[in-house]
Amino acid sequence: MTTSETRKASGPGAPGSVVDARALARARRRASLARFWRSYRAHRGGLWGLGLLIVFAVVAVTAPLLAGADSQSVTDAEGGPLEGPSGRFPLGTDQFGRSVLALLVYGSRISLTVGLLAAFLCVAIGTVVGIVAGHFRGWYATVLMRITDWFLVMPTLVLAIALATVMSRSMWTVIIAIGVTTWPTTARLVRAQTLSVESRPYIERARALGGGHGHVMVRHVLPNVMPLVLAQTTMIISSAILTEATLAFLGLSDPTITSWGGMLQDAREAGAVSAGDWWYLAPPGIAIAAVALAFTLCGRAVESVLNPKLGVRS
């Protein structure tokens, strides 16, 4: 909306000069990104998290190359059921004789996809609700916040389970279930930030210039809550991955796709817990913890770079 407005406003008058100004603006943005990276680099935890994430992302993208395209197939399984780690199967096999390592590699795709999309959904809902509830005064804002509170006190897992049971079993169900149950925290946070931004004099100035609600929310509030939202997103991703794993472990995700949580459930059903088949149980658990940790580390680093007042040191 804003760019089209800019274009319309700048009109046909002086295209050359506007392009010139844009190029300069781009250069400034590049410089501020470089500045961001320089201060991000100072956070060792953040660098570790980022490194770990890159590894997971590469694994997820190149899964068919790393593990072979047919390694999820139950019928074409190469090994015997529940074999221990060996040279051929570094992490052993599951009850169907599939390589646990290959499953783990494929599982990263689902975990990351679901985590990212669910977090995006959650942050999108939370930001819109938060800004609207913070910007408008009056009964509708109150109603909006009461709904938020209602969602907030609802146990997330119970609500997600209920949603996952009534909807068809697919990855999208899990994404939606996580997205619609975790947004209230973001909404509360964004609303608080919105209220503080709205009390700044430049909002008064924008209103006195004739700016409407949309103008104030999009041009002033949004850019000022974005850093917070960005930091919040990275945190939410890790909790979304955990929730996804939990739902899958409870058997509420699509049984035809491999996810880390699903692997844990399969392992439990196959009696891996009582049999002491650690190679089947430990890797997905560790992978879940590692990804969640990586996102949290990144989130903390981003937060402390964008908001130095927090004094978060990692």
Partner 1 sequence: MTEPQPLLSAAELRLTFPGRRGAPDARAVDGVDLDIAPGEIVALVGESGCGKTSLARTLLGLERPTGGRVTFAGAPLSYTASALKTYRKRVQLVLQDPSGSLNPRHTVYDAVAEGLRIHRYPGDEREAVAGALARAGLRPPERFFLRYPHELSGGQRQRVVIAGALVLEPELIVADEPVASLDASVRGEILALLLRLREEMGLSALVVTHDLGLAWNIADRVAVMYLGRIVETGTVEEVLTSPRHPYTRALLSVLPEATGDPLVLAGEPPDPSRIPPGCRFHVRCQVLASGEAERAGVADACRSRDLPPLSGGGGAQVACHWARARHSSGEAIPTS
Chain residues that interact with partner 1, rule: CB under 8 A? 5-6, 8-11, 13-14, 17-18, 21, 24-25, 28, 200-202, 204-212, 215, 219-220, 223-224
Question: How many angstroms separate the CA atoms of 108 and 261, rounded?
Answer: 10
Dmax of the chain from CA atoms? 77
Q: Are 115 and 244 in contact (CB under 8 A)?
A: yes
Question: How many angstroms separate the CA atoms of 155 and 101, rounded?
Answer: 34
Q: Which is nearer to partner 1, 88 or 213 (CB)?
A: 213
Q: Which is nearer to partner 1, 28 or 313 (CB)?
A: 28
Closest distance between partner 1 and the C-beta of residue 9, in Å? 5
Q: Which is nearer to partner 1, 218 or 257 (CB)?
A: 218
Q: Which is nearer to partner 1, 6 or 165 (CB)?
A: 6
> Tokens 């996809």 appear where?
113
Q: Are 198 and 133 in contact (CB under 8 A)?
A: no
Closest distance between partner 1 and the C-beta of residue 72, in Å? 47
DSSP, collapsed to helix, strand or coil, labels residue 93 as strand
> Tokens 């399984």 appear where?
77
Q: Are 203 and 216 in contact (CB under 8 A)?
A: yes
Q: Which is nearer to partner 1, 4 or 75 (CB)?
A: 4
Q: Which is nearer to partner 1, 2 or 86 (CB)?
A: 2
The amino acid that residue 291 corresponds to is V
Question: How many angstroms separate the CA atoms of 178 and 187, rounded?
Answer: 15
DSSP, collapsed to helix, strand or coil, labels residue 99 as strand
Q: Which is nearer to partner 1, 169 or 215 (CB)?
A: 215
Question: How many angstroms separate the CA atoms of 60 and 252, rounded?
Answer: 22
Closest distance between partner 1 and the C-beta of residue 204, in Å? 7
Closest distance between partner 1 and the C-beta of residue 131, in Å? 15
Closest distance between partner 1 and the C-beta of residue 8, in Å? 7
Q: What is the DSSP string of 18-75?
A: HHHHHHHHHHHHHHHHHHHHHHHHT-HHHHHHHHHHHHHHHHHHTHHHHH-TTTT-ST
Closest distance between partner 1 and the C-beta of residue 226, in Å? 9
Closest distance between partner 1 and the C-beta of residue 225, in Å? 11
The amino acid that residue 63 corresponds to is A
